[in-house]
Structure 1
Amino acid sequence: MHLPSRRAGVRLTLLYGALLVASGAVLLALTYLLVLRFPADRVLVDGAEAGMGAGADASNGRSGGGVPGVRPAARSGDVFARLQEQASRQHADQLRELLVQSGVALAVMLVVSAVLGRLVARRVLRPLRTMTGTVQRISAHTLHERLALQGPADELKEFADTVDGLIGRLEGALHSRRRFVADAAHALRAPLTLEHTLLRETLTDRDATAETFRASSERLLEISRRQARILESLLALAGSHRGLVHREELDLAPLAEWALHIARPESERHGLRVSAAVAPAPVTGDPALVQRLVSCLVDNAVAHNRPGGRVEITTAVRDGHAVVSVANTGDPVAPEQVHRLFQPLRRVGRTADDGHPGLGLVIVHAIALAHDAVISARARADGGLAVEVAFPRRTVRDRDLRKGADDIGQLDKGTALH
């Protein structure tokens, strides 16, 4: 039955009241049927008294009442007929009285059911009202608050704990976004400040020549390229956080070869020795994001290396996972500082003016998270870093079965960093 009211309390009150009234009506109906089935013309007579009366009448030569010529059985039959008729009338009167009394009881039950239903509904909804008030008070500035519902481990307690977990993930995601925005603003402010300083010095220099203007323009062009790289990295990171919209089957091996081809001029300029051991490693994912992940791994290994160093890249299938791993030589990295490399704009043992925005491994982390991949990173003993990304080998059918929208809680799902 569709109820016009949308308030849960009214709906629960009507539901509980209707159930109680229906139960009372069924009980009264059963009682009425049981009484109705009882024989209405059954008369109970004491057999001893009946025998004594008949014997006395026979010894006197009379039949009940002393009427001559009438057998005792006839008089006895008339008495029983009158008793049966009287019993039937009494039974009908009792049924009518039972109906009247049942109607009164049902009316009283209706009022009592409404009161009890309201009390029960308020009792059931009290924790929900408390949780609703707490959630309404929580804002972006008070995400540290929790419902913290006390009581038995029932469905309401489970729901409150789920909401607390969601609020915790929202708090973590909001804190991460705020920190990222602040770091991104700091990274963009530095080249803008340098650009402003160069322009001001050039314009205020009265002895500036064409060569001076040319040198300043080249420096400004390099700063512009650096800003473009930062913005491109920020856009890629934002795109990876939106989740996967498109998936298809692809192979990591050709993606690794393409990334090495693109990075060859830079690696040759630094005199790096590049070795590749690529084998087929099929995965299911977004081709653009996976290609960006492999490119970021290779670019990071080339950019943060030492002259004459090494870069090693491998693709393979291992333990049911499609794996791409990139290792490089470079400056020593403390093992306890490795996880900081996957945080936005965190530089460990790197200069802030190396021309790289520091977002490569952050983008790798975000893309791996969107693909449910696992990242393993370790500092090499002779300097540098070794990073491995293991993708689950899903087919297109597996993807269709698990397809769903990524939400903000996915940001804190915890991609493993070993």
Structure 2
Amino acid sequence: MTLRVRFAVVSGAIFFVLAGLLLIGLYLLVRAQLEPVPGWRNPDVIRVAGYEFYPGQAGWEVANQRGIQIRRLYQAGTLDSVRNVGLLVLPLGTALAAFLGWRLARVVHRPLEQATLTARRVAQSHDLRERLDYRADDEIKELADTFDTMLDRLSRAFDGQRRFVANASHELRTPLAINRTLVDVAVRRPDASDDLRRLGESLLVVNERHERLIAGLLALAEGEQIVLDRRAFDLSDVVEHALDLAAEEAASRKIAIHRLLDSAPVAGDPVLIERLVQNLVENGMRHNEPGGGVWVTTRQRSDRVELVVANTGLLVHPHEVESIFQPFRRLHGDRLNSDRGTGLGMSIVKTVVEAHGGHVSVRPRDEGGLTVTVELPAALPAG
């Protein structure tokens, strides 16, 4: 029940109660007024049609009873009229009061509705720079000012997170890049021993694993932020590019990639969307089996676009799917330091999808492997 409907119901109920009490009081008052006074019960003379009858005179009793009967009929008729008119006016008045209450609630509700529309627009556009800027001096202004203060704090918080992510990206990646360069130079020296080369190769593998982990954590942190840089582009182009980059790895793993890429216009952050697609394609290949396949499809459905990635692999039980989006969790009990990634891929996918107002679902395939379906809002046509 909306606020306006409740206001209308309360207005109608108040009118019904007050009008009902008024009707009962009026009915009792009229009945009391129509009751005969003591002198009417034994009048000194009764005049009927020009004749006068006195107590004890012939016809007195008949005339008196006739007068009493007429008075009772008049009383009953008057009370019936009061009751009937009241019962007719009461529901009509209640309906009118409810309607007027509904209309008046519109006047009271309009400022709140405007504030709600602005808040919804901020939530949908993710533009934290917009404010309600409510200027009327009433009770709603306090709520609007509180909401604007909250938006200010959120905007500062997200700006701080963006700066932290940018700084962390530089501070964490630079030492690893230096380590990788130093180890690579040491391994390639002509006088390097076999033990040194084996140690260097092991260090490079560990360094690469750390780089992937840091890249995944940074992508996860970026995906958790509100997407402010929204651009319109075709999701199929991003998927095509990601599949081309994965072709060499797919060939080395003897995995066939099947693509059916229809146009899928979407609005969002191209970098985050590309990371999403890359994670899905990499998961489809790394959690696969030699000679398996990966099927990638893009299409548009009404106001949504779909990206579907299916792969062969080990049989997945339905209860295992629930934990697939948790960070550092893998299916089939894989170790975190395995060659299948860092355990952040699907967590990043879910975070990026939710940041764009979309939905992701996972379904085990009967033949083994998974089918991952990502739904994102379609980009509105220009103009």
Q: Structure 1-normalised TM-score?
A: 0.45
Structure of higher CA gyration radius: 1
